[in-house]
Amino acid sequence: MAGSVGVGRAAPRSSPKRYAGTDPPLSLAGPTMADLQRTAELEKFLVEAGLYEGKEESAKREEVLSEIGQIVKEWVKQLTRKKGYSEQLVERANAVLFTFGSYRLGVHGPGADIDTLCVGPSYVNREEDFFVTLNGILAEKEEVTELQPVPEAHVPVLKFKFRGISIDLLYASLSLSVIPADFDISQGSVLCDVDEATVRSLNGCRVADQILRLVPNAENFRTTLKCLKYWAKRRGVYSNITGFLGGVNWALLVARVCQLYPNAVPSMLVSRFFRVFTQWQWPNPVMLCAIENDDLGFSIWDPRKNPRDRNHLMPIITPAYPCMNSSYNVSTSTLRVIMEQFQFGNKICQEIDLNKASWNALFEPFHFFEAYRKFLVVDIVADDDDDLRLWKGWVESRLRQLTLKIERDTKGILQCHPYPCEYSDPAIECAHCAFYMGLSRKEGLKKRGQQFDIRGTVDEFMREIGMYSLWKPGMDLAVTHVRREQVPSYVFEQGYKKPSPTMHANQQEQSDGDGTLSPDLEGQLKRKYDSDGDGLVELLKSVKRASVSPPGDETPPHHGTSVSKVICDSPVKLVSSALCSGAQTSPSHDDVTFEPTALTSSPHGSEDTSASGTSCAAVGAVVLADESSKLVNLTCDVEVDTVQTMEVHTTSECVAQKDGTKLEGIRSLASRNCAEFLEREVLAENMHLSGDEVI
């Protein structure tokens, strides 16, 4: 019963003589003494990096899985009795818990979650029995915290923590009245008479088992995979949800390299990994075995028959039927970043092989905020941590769409690098976080004065975000633009010095403050700009809650005629700080004047439609220099542009406080009925910074 809770992991493959894969190995060479020495150094590095959990935590995981397994068995028995089945069937009723993902493959580290699958009988369904009844049972358990059902996900899942260990629990209802305790999930018959969601739920376990069968040496595979997953996280390319590669993608790539070099040890495999995939001709697919077609009616990855499959940029095919592309989320922009990071890894590994570098050099963190000069910031706020977890999960799942839309609407010239890390200001005690996206022009395309208007792109993204069915008052969102010098210090790693822009003494003094908005600036909106003469993205957005209204209820945007003059003196702050503390941005050397905008009603119908308590966020003009993102050999010697400011304005109800005391934060915004936060005003104006064509 491979993969079940009782086993947890597969035994190491002991026969290196059996070679698998779609092609013969590239080399059968074994390790030299130097390779063995480098492998020992690599393994020592991984241990010192804390990538292996202790015996106590491993034992705790086993106990937790056993307890969850008992809960689901009792749940099935209760439902069997409740549905009126015989006592004989109640006695035999059963559910089996399987593991998959990093835990199943044996590459999980301390604090990692456990991907689990509950397999139950045909009469226990997912919609009511799993997401309602079992969810209710878990909610009553003291051991269970942070319970979050996600029934609308591509693979429906219950997320929770059990005694502090994160669990992702899937459910599959099979066409059997009784699930035997020794059930073999790898057999093809388990896919008979099941729906697509069940197939996707089952395939996590089936793929993990197949990977372990297809690699020549499981222990070498595990060490190499653990190493490369850690590398990917350090270099910012580990995240399936934002368009990079997730756990199963990395596992499949590493498994393919293990097939190509079956006698290699981990240090060799890491080096060969980068050598192979820097030269890989995408979109040629990576496959561990030939694609199977069991004629059960499920769609398999086949670009000859499926037009959608032809658009996949980096196909990495799962080895279990129905074979699918596990990396369909990869976009043009994220593929570029992945390949640049592969080049970086290959360069360092070549130096390691020549004894010119150590393993530490390979795992140097990627300095994202030094690689770009312009950023989009997606700020997310909610009333409390539970709401933020739900709201953030939804927004994060849609960030990939924003990247794709920017690529589409700028014909691939404007490149967007979503960074798979979330940030929050530790000085602000409220539920908030932010995601950053680096912006750059496609390398080799230089056109002075070229202007990208992506306001409509952001409009479309905001409308999609507004379709969230579990939206609650207080769940707010803002998309803004900042320059490198406006990025707050708390996003930088400890010990890494943020580059400082040149500014006047009084501006520097103000920037060290808490960003509290002075009462005379309430309700005002200003945007500054400067030009480096190399290009411009015009993106100015006032965001209010009506932007998330359902079709038919959306308030039409107002164009450019409703803006007012304003001069501001407070320091620049990001919108996460601004929303929490009423911060505003400071002026630079140029002032742009606007008129006040009218505020309209909430899209959700149940809220007060008054303008009181409104919080709006402006997205300023994004000026792009003629530079590609510096993904390799980054330095701190960067050119600092004139500060471009971005502002957030709030009304006195959200801002004014007696005696200058600190604001309550984002919770006060929601509780004071900021009904207009997400309605977007399109503040349109044409800016010609050169005589060249503006698009």
- CATH number for the domain spanning 265: value is 1.10.1410.10
Q: How far apart are CA 507 and CA 461, in angstroms?
A: 35
Query: What is the value of pTM for the model shown?
Result: 0.73
In this predicted structure, what is the pLDDT of residue 428?
86
Q: Do 354 and 233 have their domain in common?
A: yes
Positions marked catalytic: 102, 113, 115, 168, 229, 238
Rounded-to-integer distance, Cα 118 and Cα 495, Å? 45
pLDDT value of position 449: 60
Instruction: Express each pLDDT in 353-374 by its tens digit.
Output: 999 999 999 999 999 999 999 9
Beta-carbon contacts of residue 531 (< 8 Å; ≥ 6 apart): 623, 689, 690
Mean pLDDT of the chain: 74
| Among 333, 362, 391, residue at a domain's last position | 362
88-97, 258-267, 484-493, 571-580: which range is least confident on average?
571-580
* Model confidence at 28: pLDDT above 50: yes
Handedness of CA 310, 465, 372, 684 (dihedral sign): positive
Cβ burial of 566 (10 Å; 0-12, 13-18, 19+) is: buried
272 and 186 fall within a common domain: no
pLDDT of 316 reads: 98
Here the CATH number for the domain that contains residue 162 is: 3.30.460.10
Beta partners for residue 538, in sequence order:
453
pLDDT tens digit string along 50-73?
999 999 999 999 999 999 999 999
- Return the DSSP state at 605: S
Q: Same domain for 253 and 187?
A: no
Predicted confidence (pLDDT) at residue 687 exceeds the cutoff of 70: no
Task: Map residue 39 onto helix, strand or coil.
Answer: helix
Of 294, 286, 303, nearest to 322 by C-alpha is: 294
* pLDDT of 448: 61
- Specify which residues 432 forms β-bridges with: 381
Q: How many domains does the chain have?
A: 3
The boundaries of the domain holding residue 244 are 33-50+215-362
Cα distance between the two ends of the chain: 61
Question: Is the pLDDT at 597 greater than 60, yes or no?
Answer: no
Q: Is 70 exceeded by the pLDDT of residue 164?
A: yes
| Pick from 670, 675, 669: nearest CA to 652 | 669
**pLDDT grade for 20, boundaries at 50, 70 and 90:** low
Are the beta carbons of 325 and 301 closer than 8 angstroms?
A: yes
CA distances (Å), origin 581, targets 51, 518, 587? 38, 11, 19
- Look at residue 11 and tell me whether its pLDDT is greater than 90: no
47-51, 142-146, 599-603: which range is least confident on average? 599-603
Residue 566 lies in a domain: no
Lowest-pLDDT choice from 78-82, 111-115, 195-199, 263-267: 195-199
Output the six-digit token pair for 235: 């270099």
Do β-strands 114-120 and 165-173 pair in parallel, antiparallel, or remain unpaired? parallel
Non-local (6+) Cβ contacts of 641 within 8 A are 373, 483, 484, 485, 501, 530, 532, 623, 625
Residue from 169, 225, 172, 212 nearest 320 by CA: 212
Q: 657: buried, middle or exposed (CB in 10 Å: 19+, 13-18, 0-12)?
A: middle
Among 108-112, 151-155, 374-378, 551-555, the minimum mean pLDDT is found in 551-555
Give the pLDDT band (50/70/90) at residue 101. very high
Report the pLDDT averaged over residues 570-589.
34
Do 386 and 356 lie in one domain? The reply is no
Q: Can you tell me the mean pLDDT for 92-97?
A: 96
Looking at the chain, the whole-number percentage of residues with pLDDT higher than 70 is 67
Per-residue pLDDT, averaged over 384-401, amounts to 91
46 and 80 both lie in a single domain: no
In a domain, 572, yes or no: no
- For 496, 498, 499, 573, 683, the CA distances from 640, given in Å and listed in that order, are 17, 12, 8, 17, 27
SS3 379: strand
Please name the amino acid found at residue 252.
L
Specify whether 284 is located in the same domain as 235. yes
Distances (CA, A) of 483 to 457, 571, 601, 666: 20, 14, 32, 24
For the chain, the C-alpha Rg in angstroms (whole number) is 27
Q: Is residue 617 part of a domain?
A: no
- 348 SS3 class: helix
Same domain, 43 and 68: no
Query: What confidence category does residue 499 fall into, taking pLDDT thresholds of 50, 70 and 90?
Result: low
Can you say whether the dihedral through the CA atoms of 257, 260, 265, 271 is positive or negative?
A: negative
Which of 183, 209, 235 is the endpoint of a domain? 209
Regarding whether 200 and 99 lie in a shared domain, the answer is: yes
Cα separation, 458 vs 112, whole angstroms:
34
Check whether residue 204 and residue 220 sit in a common domain.
Answer: no
497 belongs to a structural domain? no
The whole-angstrom separation of Cα 112 and Cα 103 is 8
Contacts of 632 (CB under 8 A, 6+ apart): 340, 343, 344, 347
Q: Is 460 left (phi over 0), alpha (psi -120 to 50) or beta?
A: alpha
Q: What is the pLDDT of residue 581?
A: 40
- Tell me if 682 is assigned to some domain: no
pLDDT of 458 above 50? yes
- Cβ–Cβ < 8 Å for 4, 103: no
Amino acid occupying residue 597:
T
Query: Rounded CA gap, 477 and 435, in Å?
Result: 11
Percentage of the chain modeled with pLDDT above 90: 55
Report the half-sphere exposure of 149 (CA within 13 A, side-chain side): 19
What pLDDT score was predicted for residue 134? 97
pLDDT band at 446 (very low <50, low <70, confident <90, very high): low
Furthest C-alpha separation in the chain: 84
pLDDT at position 445 is 67
For residue 540 the two structure tokens come to 């100015």
Q: Provide the 8-state DSSP code for 422.
A: E
CATH at residue 457: 3.30.70.590
Residue 248 lies in a domain: yes
Domain boundary among 463, 486, 509: 486
Q: Give residue 295's pLDDT band: very low, low, confident or very high (50, 70, 90).
A: confident
CA distance 443 to 374: 15
> Are residues 295 and 353 both part of a single domain?
yes
Q: Is the preceding peptide bond at 556 cis, omega within 30 degrees of 0?
A: no
Q: Please give the pLDDT value at position 470.
A: 86
Q: Is 123 a domain residue?
A: yes
**71-87, pLDDT tens digit by residue?**
999 999 999 999 999 99
Residue 352 predicted with pLDDT over 60: yes
Identify whether residues 84 and 168 lie together within a single domain: yes
Q: Using CA atoms, how far apart are residues 552 and 591, in angstroms rounded to an integer?
A: 37
Phi, psi of 30, deg, nearest 5? -95, 180
Contact in structure between 337 and 314 (CB atoms under 8 Å)? no
Would the pLDDT of 378 be above 60? yes
Please indicate, yes or no, whether residues 114 and 227 belong to a single structural domain of this protein.
no
What's the pLDDT score for residue 292? 82
* Token duo for residue 368: 């994202």
Given this model, what pLDDT does residue 442 score? Answer: 85
Which range has highest mean pLDDT (5-19, 93-107, 618-632)?
A: 93-107
Cβ burial of 431 (10 Å; 0-12, 13-18, 19+) is: buried
> Is 515 among the domain residues?
no
Q: pLDDT tens digits for 189-247?
A: 889 889 889 999 999 999 999 999 999 999 999 999 999 999 999 999 999 999 999 99
**Strand pairing partners for 414?**
441
* Confidence check: pLDDT of 153 > 80: yes
Is pLDDT of 17 > 80?
Answer: no
Q: Which is more confident, 683 or 548?
A: 548
